Amino acid sequence: MLTITDLAVKFPSRFGDFTAIEDVDMVIKPGEIHGLVGESGAGKSTVGAAVIGLLQSPGYIAHGSLTLGDTDLRTLTPEQAHAVRGDRISMIFQDPQTSLNPLMTIEDQLIETIQAHADVSTAAARQRAVDLLEEIGIKNAAERIKAYPHQFSGGMRQRVVIALAICTDPELIIADEPTTALDVAVQSQVLKLIQRLAKDRKIAFMLITHDIGVIAQVADRVTVMRKGRVMETGETAQVLGAPRHPYTRALMDAVPPLDYRIDRFRVPQEEGADFERSLGQKAEDWLLAGVQGAPTGLTLQNLYVRFAGPRTSLFRKPEPYVALNDVSLTVRPGSIMGLVGESGSGKSTLAKAITGLVKPSDGTMILGDEVLPGGKARDRHHPSRQLVQMVFQDPYSSLNSRHRIGAVLEEPLWFYGFVKDADQRKELAASMLALVGMQPDAIDKYPHQFSGGQRQRIAVARALLARPRFLICDEPTSALDVSIQAEILNLLKDLQAKFGLTILFISHNLTVVRQMADDTAVLRNGKIEEIGKTEDVYERPQAAYTKSLLALTPVMQRASFAVAAHD
């Protein structure tokens, strides 16, 4: 179906050409799911963009061939390439929210796409759109098709994007991180859909992902990339079960197991290990000086959060939507509690209630010995604002893109009145960067100049500069590849142990939660389904919902992995 030979892509700049990928060879057969894995910056998405003809300017294909069936993609005119794109090759992007037009209904978007590639009437296009939605598993498709994207859940939006991709009967679909932001239940549904389409329609898939578990579950073949080059390619069972290249073996070892707990995550290469870690000693001493007394725990008692529901009648009061329903839990001082559950279960709402960003309707929150006020009663100068800090899922959107890293890090120091002198603030911020494994000279750069893993380290540094006692990590590694994920999680473990932090760790990745958390709470539809010691929850789950989550979690089964992890 697709043959890539000796492909090279370059991006010219005033400093010379940057080679994004070099000497890439790949063959994808009809009906085959071909996994493309590697860490951030490996060139995975660049390969996909080159195939579909969406390379960002001024990038260009320096040499190599791209053949779809009998068609040489490099010889096509712009008009011919436009006809192929969408008709014979489709693409599924990582974020369905940004792939769909928020001002158009699902019906209009599907009809527009179908009529762009086929000479059919609007009525026929609409019927085909309804049939597609039913095929991909959306119930009441004839009614739901009139909804807007924001009225669908993340998993349903991803299904709509898949419907858009297959509505023209393509030969090849490039799926770029299609399940990154999805919980295990929805992820399993999307992956089964991809498998069914490959089998029934003989559609070839290029599945770009950093999730080795997903590759192990659905891919027929896999190609491993690093720094723009192919390290290894072959049958999935061979590459994952007995990898030949040292980098592939290191990448496999970085995948955390689900069936037992390890002390530390294996890291293929330490980021920032080429400078003196003692530069972070000043920040460490400053943090330790701010630690007073025993670690701080958190207790939630009968917590409710209700939001106004949609108005269905002019004369009837809208029914409230209950986001959190009688939630009670205790995060032990100095421990890490994992919070898991599917999308919409209330995990992020719980975090926002603790930080004061959402006002609870009922219930009590106790931080240490102090009862926390809810919502507007807790203004920005309330002591809990400093004691409770948050690390968000997307560090790029949580960092001010217009400010240098120095200004971002110094803000909590002057806001909370910790350091009055500007030079001392800058020195402490640079030392904190070293403490989290970054070069101190990063202080003069902007957020866009860093990788995702580096930005997440900066976000952790900013949270620490507020001298918190309670840290909330909301999906801090969901968008990171396994090697960078291992670095960030090891960093959080070290900081928690060294400074006595209490951490609420929110994630849909059950393998990560098992390695990180002392206790685990399972949330579903705003209610606690199960809570207890992590090992008890994973080894002897009591709730049927917990058992289903564990059963749906993609895992990489490799005999040598267990040996390597225990070494």
At 484, which amino acid appears? Answer: I
433-456 average pLDDT score: 85
* DSSP element (H, E) containing 415: helix 405-415
Can you tell me the distance from the alpha carbon of 201 to that of 52, in angstroms, rounded to the nearest whole number?
20
List the CATH code of the domain at 288-566: 3.40.50.300
Task: Please tell me the least confidently modeled range out of 333-342, 360-369, 438-447.
Answer: 438-447
Task: Please tell me the least confidently modeled range out of 7-16, 327-336, 387-396, 477-486.
Answer: 477-486
**Is the CB of residue 42 less than 8 Å from the CB of residue 227?**
yes
Residue 407 scores a pLDDT above 50:
yes
Give the bridge partners for 472, in sequence order: 390, 504
Q: 392: pLDDT confidence band, cut at 50, 70 and 90?
A: confident
Task: Please tell me the least confidently modeled range out of 223-232, 317-326, 361-370, 407-416.
Answer: 317-326
Q: Which pTM was predicted?
A: 0.79
Residue range(s) of every CATH 3.40.50.300 domain in the chain: 1-88+170-253, 288-566
Task: Dump the DSSP string for 298-332.
Answer: EEEEEEEEEEPPPP--TTSPPPPEEEEEEEEEEE-
If DSSP codes are grouped into helix, strand and coil, which group holds residue 541? coil
CA distances from 561 to 34, 68, 238, 434 (A): 22, 37, 13, 32
Report the first-to-last Cα separation within the chain, whole angstroms: 42
411-431 average pLDDT score: 93
Residue 333 scores a pLDDT above 60:
yes
Residue 153 scores a pLDDT above 80:
no
Phi/psi of residue 111, nearest 5 degrees: -60, -45
Asked, as a colleague might, if the bond just before 78 is cis with ω within 30 of 0, I would say no
% the chain with pLDDT above 70 = 94
Q: 2: pLDDT confidence band, cut at 50, 70 and 90?
A: very high
421 Cβ contact list (under 8 Å, min separation 6): none
Q: Residue 268: its pLDDT value, please?
A: 65
Which of 486, 468, 466 lies closest to 477 in space, CA to CA? 486
275 Cβ contact list (under 8 Å, min separation 6): 434, 439, 440
**Superfamily for domain range 1-88+170-253:** P-loop containing nucleotide triphosphate hydrolases (3.40.50.300)
Q: What is the token pair recorded at 554?
A: 């993609």
